Amino acid sequence: MLLTLPDILNPDDLRKVYHALIQAPWTDGRESAGTQARAVKNNLQLPHDCKAAQTIRSLVLAGLDRSPRFFSAVLPRKVFTPRINRYAGDSNAYGNHIDNAVRVLPSGERVRTDVSCTVFLNDPADYDGGELVVSDTFGEHSVKLPAGHAVIYPGTSLHQVTPVTRGERLACFLWVQSLVRSDEQRRLLFDFDMNLLALRQRHGETPETTMLTGTYHNLLRQWADT
């Protein structure tokens, strides 16, 4: 499932992001790529331990934490340290690839990359190109969102960032291991949850919504891997 999540960062968060980026120590993005991805990856990123990266990722994680749609769609179990990247000048694209299935945190803990999430940090008017293109069984989807908006898509997808031919594209990127490994099952649970919410808003709590809420949780209990 490919889903956009508006306003993960508010204007105040974005001001803090730009302030943090004034002295950002950008490095070559290839340092963290796997062998196949390294051949097609050409962007800049921030080291995990720099001040700018720490500030931006805590704003992004707090923003995602405030989003009930993110929680319902992703059912997060573990998050891999968010990356901040920049596409501009000669480092302006990331060709087609599928991300590595497992990432290792500094603690040694492994994170399976079930869901990918990109949070756009600057406005589409600031740059040309730089579309995130995600391929799935329904074809190619091109995504370029306003600053502060996010997109999530399955970690299993072939994807790329097309060359930025003017300006710079700034984004924060992260992977999540979900309680539910299958994208198809996550989709069913998300639709179930969203429609239940709508039913409750329209009719208030009824014996049926109570029962369906139980059914949602019983399905999640069947499928969740904790």
* Binding residues vs Ni ion (CB under 5 A): 99
Q: Minimal distance in Å, beta carbon 10 to Ni ion? A: 27
User: Smaller CB distance to Ni ion: residue 34 or 223?
Assistant: 34
Q: Minimal distance in Å, beta carbon 85 to Ni ion? A: 10
Phi first, then psi, for residue 76 (nearest 5°) are -65, 140
> Rounded CA gap, 26 and 183, in Å?
33
Are 44 and 91 in contact, with CB atoms under 8 Å apart? yes
* Residue 136 exposure: Cα atoms within 13 Å on the Cβ side: 13
User: Smaller CB distance to Ni ion: residue 13 or 99?
Assistant: 99
Q: Minimal distance in Å, beta carbon 182 to Ni ion? A: 20
Among residues 100, 97, 95, 88, which one has the least CA distance to residue 44?
Answer: 88
Q: Minimal distance in Å, beta carbon 93 to Ni ion? A: 12
User: Smaller CB distance to Ni ion: residue 177 or 189?
Assistant: 177
> Rounded CA gap, 172 and 118, in Å?
6
Are 118 and 151 in contact, with CB atoms under 8 Å apart? yes
User: Smaller CB distance to Ni ion: residue 20 or 84?
Assistant: 84
Q: Minimal distance in Å, beta carbon 70 to Ni ion? A: 19
User: Smaller CB distance to Ni ion: residue 83 or 186?
Assistant: 83
Are 29 and 43 in contact, with CB atoms under 8 Å apart? yes
CB-closest chain residue to Ni ion = 99
